[in-house]
Amino acid sequence: MTKKVCVGAADLKEGELRGVEVDKRMILLARDAGRVHALDNWCNHAGCLLSGGRLEQNLVICPCHEVGFELATGRVATSPRLCDDQQRFAAEEQDGQIWVELPDDP
């Protein structure tokens, strides 16, 4: 696993969903209750960008089919039979930056 910088910590506001490209991956960053979360931005069901969705409590809601994924785990929370869990990445704030841990390319 390799840690990659995505954005400055001050650039991600509370309640914001932001899509960023890191090493040719589309990553969703979200700040909820002061914590930063990172998920695969492409919804595994409909292929929509989750960054175009909305936050409801601790869930990101897909803009295409209204399924909610838990920010902290990527687990599908609202319609478990409809799609799979969303890939989650470890994210942390350090030295004024947001870092996401991505798998190394094979």
Element (H, E) at 20: strand 17-22
Confidence grade of residue 88 (pLDDT, cut at 50, 70, 90): very high
What is the C-alpha to C-alpha distance for residues 62 and 100, in angstroms, rounded to an integer? 21
pLDDT in tens, 23-68: 888 999 999 999 999 999 999 887 899 999 999 989 999 999 899 9
Range(s) of the domain holding residue 55: 2-102
| Model confidence, pTM | 0.90
What is the C-alpha to C-alpha distance for residues 38 and 92, in angstroms, rounded to an integer? 9
Domain count, the chain: 1
Phi, psi values for residue 16, rounded to 5°: -90, 145
Of the two residues 24 and 20, the one the predictor is more confident about is: 20
- Is the per-residue pLDDT at 22 higher than 60? yes
What is the C-alpha to C-alpha distance for residues 44 and 92, in angstroms, rounded to an integer? 24
What CATH number is given to the structural domain containing 20? 2.102.10.10
Q: What CA dihedral angle connects 12, 74, 85 and 100, to 10 degrees?
A: 60
What's the Cα-to-Cα distance from 99 to each of 33, 50, 67, 81, rounded to whole Å? 18, 19, 27, 32
- Is the per-residue pLDDT at 3 higher than 80? no
